[in-house]
Structure 1
Amino acid sequence: MPITQRTVLRHELIGLETRVIRSQNPSITGIKGRIIDETQNTLVLLVGHEKKVVPKGVVTLQLSFPDGSLVEIDGTEVIGRSEDRLRKRTRRW
């Protein structure tokens, strides 16, 4: 199943380009890079040649998909391991 705006929460985020658009910590607002690792509470972004650790619970992210579309997600929606998010049922309206 391809990653789309509707299915992003049920997929692994590794490999997607992202930008921190809001954060409770002003020093990480504006960080832009590729997600290279994901833990239960953090994302590791490759920014240039540096790795930056971003806590999921305090940020709003803008994810960029391979087709060029963008989606904004609250970091609290992706707290947890990616394999656990797959098992979690999402509400469909």
Structure 2
Amino acid sequence: MISSQNVLRHELIGLDVLVSGAANPSHKGLSGRIIDETKNLLVIDTPRGVRRIPKMYSIFAVRLPGREHVEIDGSVMVLAPERRINLHEKKRIP
């Protein structure tokens, strides 16, 4: 089950997100649903259309199932999603 402790080991597509901090002031405050993820971008479906937000200089507040929110520094997510998920899984194995 996805939680604030293991969010980086899970798929983010489909989760609601708020850009709580960004180097680009026009990105700050954007909210919507994550519809795609690449190595460097989160693609968010907002009420004003689809936006591509760079991970590197952004902070994302992600709403997890059960209404729990977690803030994620985008710089720790700068990997292809499949590599990010596998990397964190390997660290967990003793």
TM-score by length of 2: 0.90
CA distance in 2, matches of 1:87, 1:62: 22
SS in 2 for 1:33: strand
2:67 is matched with which residue?
68
Give aligned pairs, total: 90
CA deviation profile, 1:39-93 (whole Å, cap 9, x unmatched): 00001000026100000001001000110000001001111111101221447xx
Greater mean alpha carbon deviation, residues 81-90 or residues 47-56: 81-90
CA distance in 2, matches of 1:15, 1:63: 10
Task: Provide runs of 4+ in structure 1 moved above 3 Å.
Answer: none
CA distance in 2, matches of 1:55, 1:43: 6
CA distance in 2, matches of 1:54, 1:19: 11
2:82 is matched with which residue?
83
2:47 is matched with which residue?
48
| RMSD after superposition | 1.3
